[in-house]
Structure 1
Amino acid sequence: MTEHKVTTLFAKRLFDGEHWLTNQQVTLKGQVIESVESAKMPSSGDVEIVDLLAPGFIDVHVNGGGGALFNHIPTLDTLARMVEVHAQFGTVAMMPTLISDDYEIMSQAHHAVCQALEHKMAGVLGMHYEGPYLNPIRKGVHNESKLRKPTEGTLSTLLDVSRSGKLMVTLAPEQVPEGFIEWLVSEGAIVCIGHSAANYEQARQAVLSGARGFTHLFNAMTPLMSREPGVVGAALQTDKPTWCGLIADGHHVHPASMRVAIAAKGCEHMLLVTDAIQSVGSDEKEMPFLGKKVRRREGKVTTEDGTLAGSDLDMATAVRNTINLIGRTPAEALQMASLRPAEFLGIEQEFGRIKPGYRASLVALSVAFFVTATWIDGKKVW
């Protein structure tokens, strides 16, 4: 019989995903939470004491970290590096994201993620293809030569991730044939709208066809206008359950725009995402990026012509910004970083709460919401 390691934590304050509690003892056994109980301050040195304990963060849009970009080196080692680096910032689970690329690179990335899932690599939930079925008009930093329409018959071989993990596909609905979104959904994909020049009706039809996410809201999509609500207008509708990713770095979206979006949509359908590239967890100021050079300065990364190239954001900073820049409560910010992405991915019975039976993937924070420790599946990794 396998013996499971037992870890005991004492939280002066605990956010269990829904409620605030004080003086809680949390016991981790193996990969799960065994118990959560009120307790007195421990005198034993075997118990780790933390100021604030919360469910670990889930990032559904992360391209790299620690000097490694998934597109550049789509390997198991890169995935391990990304998990290791982002754990410093409270991320306990991620959707490694591949920016539009050739099928050879897509295939290598697919193989690496399938390996990670097969080996049960802690912290890797699945795969996020951001493209290549995007609109050149709204390409952002994506290489236009890599964008295309889904006419190739090899696509189905890149969807195996959904058999053992989560699969996200960001696409422009106006770039794909009728029935394509329904087919992807039937194959187990979570379809997101992004890098799109669709009008409101096209975006709404995509939602009715099964799309349930909007990739980095406001960025690389048609805006909300008086007579044409665009993709943003479709994203902020609430009659269908859809979720919007927000890059809360203060550069991608103005705080006022985020406040307006949350007022319309509600925090319960907003996800904090990083869209992080390899600069996070690295000291580099200039770095290669998909055949271009990008510069890191004042919290953002841009190409030489000023185009934003992903972000230099981490999840803990996103949480602090949601509190300090957008004015949401700590509970709402923590939910947008954990419970809401868990609900979006359909894993809310495992992640997003600190309750018995849930995964022991947690983050300890200071009173100012800086990460002091991270556990992934019961193992302290930071």
Structure 2
Amino acid sequence: MQTATLFDLPAIQTVPDAPAAAAPAKSKRKKRTVHVSVPLTPSTTVPDEMIRDADWVVISSSGGKDSQAMLSYVVQRARALGMLDKVVVVHADLGRVEWAGTRELAERQARLAGVRRFEVVQASGADLLERVEIRYGKLKAKAQQEALERGEDPATAKVPPAWPSSSARWCTPDAKRGPIRTLYTRLVAELSHLGRPVRILECIGQRAAESTARAQLAEVEINRGASNGKRIVTTWRPIHAWSDRKVWREIARSRLPYHPAYDWGNRRLSCVFCVLGCNSDLVNGARRVPELAAEYARTEVVVGADFKKGLSMREIIRRAEALEAAEGPAARPPAGTAMAEHIGRARTSRYRARQAALYGLAA
């Protein structure tokens, strides 16, 4: 016999004006307060003045073309000011879900640019795929509990998607933003003798041309979420207004090596399979790293949802396999293919020749 619950008591049902039993009130998340010392707006938006005023200039490098171009641009300005010693390059290591060699490339780019301090941060514990499964377990438990509170069968509870999405980019604070802020804490401790809040200028390679959401971002703003009584963090997006062509021209000028995934045809670089990536990037990833694609497909089964809304990893793998069957295994494109598409073969040839002369890289 099924045990009666509060929802079955006749007293509740026989009182005409009694409201329906309400679910327990959810505990409100404590509102985060910002220290009174943190300003609302930056004191300046002039690049050289921001570099002069900063105690640390922290450049976030994914190893991709945008952060690479930004690195080159910011380092050039800091060197001209005689302040290269305050520049730190940080790479958030994403583990198995990022393109092979990305961490090593980011470090090489920093060293060749003349930056002496390169830091690697990484989220502790589970990686992205493991976090998706953990998140699914929590969302499922919550949905079932809420169903019980409504007097419904928990087995029929609808579980929200556990994968990151454009509207729920929880992967960014988990894998990048949080670990980078631990670096800020260490940098602040190194300058504790200043006796005032440490000024950090964080440089991020986001561009308006990437998306409507990024187009709405300010080029310079106070990062009040990362600031506190010990540090004031100013976010600077140095290449926010740059076009793809300008990015590639800066890479050519800098002579720094870029990731070969771009020559394979990728538009973005970070996670091999990013929910914000275009379909061709995802198919390219499945062709280049099929074993990782298979792990994503297995995770889809576990959490009962497609990796990307309207596009499953199973379908991405199917498209990759169809291309392999039709074209055969793709031969690696010549180095410089991506750059040549944006700035021409002549300038690309000069870039490759200068790399060979300066760094001993194959032309």
| Bigger Cα Rg | 2
Report which of the two has the higher share of helix: 2
TM range (shorter): under 0.3
Report which of the two has the higher share of strand: 1
TM-score of the aligned structures, taking structure 1 as reference length: 0.27
